[in-house]
Structures are given as C-alpha cells and as structure tokens.
Amino acid sequence: MKKFLTDRNLHLLLIILSFFVWIFCFKGFVFNQLSLESDAIAYYEHFQYFTDNISRGVYPFWEAGRIKGIPAEFFMRRIGSFNPLFGYIVIQSFFEIPFRFTYLSFLALYYFLGVVGFYLLALRIFQNKTVALVTYLLFMFSSIGTRMFDSYFLLVVIPMIWFFYFLVSFACHQKRHLFIGIIFTLMILATTYVPFFFINILLTFILCYSIFYLKESGRFLQNSFRFVIKNKIFTGLCTICLGVSLMPGILLWQDAGGGLVDKKGPEFALTQRNASGEAENAISVGLETITSWGIEEDILYAVSFEDMRTFKFAILYIPVFAYIILFLGLACRIRKRLLFFFVWGFGTLLIFAHRAPF
C-alpha cells in the first residue's frame, strides 16, 4: 500500500478523482438533464451536421436545413472541422450511440484533456508538483468549465493550453516531438473559430516576456535557430503543414468578400451580423456588435459557484476556494515571474475589453 501511495500515484489519483467530482457537479449538463444555453445550442447543431456527413464519407459544403440553405464552411470554421480529435464523435456514431450523449461526453473529455495540459504546463513552469496540483484544481473548477455549455470558448482554450505547454517545453529542450506539438496545436488554432483571439494573446505574451526576460528571449531565439539549421527538412515540412492549415481561413475570407480577384462581392451574407452594412466582408462584425458585451461585464456579474440550475449566459462562476487562494496570494512576495503574469494578464484583459481606448 505504501509503495502504491507514492507522490506520483497520489497526484494521479487526485487528478482522476477531481475530474469525477467535476462530473458530479455538472451532471445536469453532462447527462442531459439540463439544456444547453445560447451559442452552445448552435454549436451542438453544427457538430451534429458535420459528424453525420463525415460518418457517411461526405464533407459538408452546404447546409440545406438552416435559413433555407446556406454555405456550411462558415460554421465548419467555427467548430474547427479539421480537428482530428472529433473522430471520437464520428466513431461513436458507428455504434449508434445517441449523439447527445456522445457530444456531451466529448466536451467533458476534451475539457479534461485541457486541464491535464494545464497541470503539465504548471509543472513545467513552477517545477513543483504541489503547486501544479493546486493550479490544476483552480482551473478544473474555474469558469471555463461552465462556458462549454453556453459558448465556443472550450474549442479555442484547450489547444491554446497545449500550445503553451509545448512552447515552454521546447524552450527548455529543443526536441522534435515538442516542435511537432507546437505545429499541431497551431494548426488546430488556425482552423478553429477566429484565430485573432489566440494571436492577440500570443503577441501580448511575446511582448511581456521580451520585456521581463530579455536574456532568456535571446537564448530561446538562438536555440531555436540552431534547431532549425540542424533539422532543415523536418522544420520545412512542418512549416508547409502549418501553411496548408491557413488555407481554409484564407479561402473563407475570400468567399466572404475579402480579396476577391473578380470583385463581384461575397459568396454569402450573414445579415444579422452585418445589419449596419458598414463591413465589406460578410464575416466581419459591426462595431455595435463588438461593443454590446465585453469581459468587463463577465467580471462585474461574476458570482460564486452554487447551483447550475440557475446557469446564465456569459457569467463567470467562481469557486469559493478561489477566494481563499487569492487572499493567501496577497501575502506572497512579489517576484519577477508573478509580476510578469500580472502584466500579461492585465494587458490581455485591456485588449479584450470592449470599452478600451485602443
């Protein structure tokens, strides 16, 4: 028994048990006792339409049952139809398992994959299993766990977590499998929803890291350059794969009215999103839509996690023990790493604030 309860096994046991606790907390959604909310309903429909067609060997370009027939590629970009992990849903369809259960179980497992990545990222940064476990629990029971039932948020956050894990790991050890991980997650991010969210976060990270860790940034660039020189063919093939992953987004932008050679206008229109008529591109969003809601409202209306039967769209649910960690953190000594995370987080918050001066 003592041999089994090693630090490694104990942490693994706590990680698995905490996931089942999370399942219990969200059993209403996971087991289809509570309905999905807002954007999650549309994403459920997109996934069902996509996987039904893929299971028949057909990639859907047209959705006849929505708004009297519209091009499906816009909605395929929203869900990230080239994500190979969606094969879980397709495989389940061959066994005639109800799609609702398959989809909800996929969301839960996909989220668990993300929190495991967050644990590994924290372990890589802090080099402390206890700290990594605490950050894992904070993330597991954070607001992101609620947003999968009302928005697309999960589809972007999970690959972004793994991207930063592979990036930080590659900065420590320039290995081929870590570089493949960076390219793979970038390919998923490039083909899922709007890549500009991730690009903003990445650019603010690069800027803040370059300011706080100038020497380390230079060392990383030198090591990366040596890796590329040593593995020219390998990095070249990876770069080509990444370039190919950008094509669906570029083609969608062109079909929506951006950069068309014949200048005949967009191939489709989204009247509700472009009601003002100010945007030339069909997938562009008017200023009135952008400023209708922002992260400030999410924070302003944040409530503690109590009962998901009162679940509301775009509200941050904060676990009670997060407040305990927050107050304990106020007693910690300010270090460069802590200051870096604060500046990076606050800078990102300002960028995504719809009332920001820039």
The tens digit of pLDDT for each residue in 133-173 reads: 988 988 888 777 777 776 677 888 899 999 999 999 999 99
Q: Above pLDDT 70, what percent of the chain? A: 76
pLDDT surpasses 90 at 42: no
Region 175-180: mean pLDDT is 94
Position 294 in a domain: no
Total structural domains within the chain: 1
Region 211-226: mean pLDDT is 92
Instruction: Report whether 190 contacts 81 (CB < 8 A).
Output: no
Per-position DSSP letters for 121-132, written without gaps between them: HHHHHH--HHHH
pLDDT surpasses 70 at 276: no
Mean of per-residue pLDDT scores for the chain: 79
Per-position DSSP letters for 130-153, written without gaps between them: HHHHHHHHHHHTSTHHHHTTTSSH
pTM across the whole model: 0.85
Position 340 in a domain: no
Query: Among 66-70, 200-204, 282-286, which range has the highest average pLDDT?
Result: 200-204
Position 42 in a domain: yes
Instruction: Average the pLDDT over each of 13-22, 125-134, 347-356 and give the range with the smallest value.
Output: 347-356
Instruction: Report whether 115 contacts 140 (CB < 8 A).
Output: yes
pLDDT tens column, 71-108: 777 777 778 788 888 888 888 878 878 888 888 888 88
Position 63 in a domain: yes
β-pairing verdict for 62-63 and 317-318: unpaired
pLDDT band, very low/low/confident/very high, at 260 (cuts 50, 70, 90): very low
Structural domain including 245 reads: 28-263
Higher pLDDT, 290 or 339: 339
The closest alpha carbon to 84, from 115, 62, 113, belongs to 113
Helices (H), the chain: 7-25, 27-30, 39-54, 73-79, 87-94, 99-126, 129-140, 144-147, 153-172, 176-190, 196-212, 214-230, 232-255, 287-290, 295-300, 320-329, 336-352
Position 345 in a domain: no
Position 288 in a domain: no
Position 350 in a domain: no
Position 299 in a domain: no
The closest alpha carbon to 146, from 311, 28, 34, 349, belongs to 311
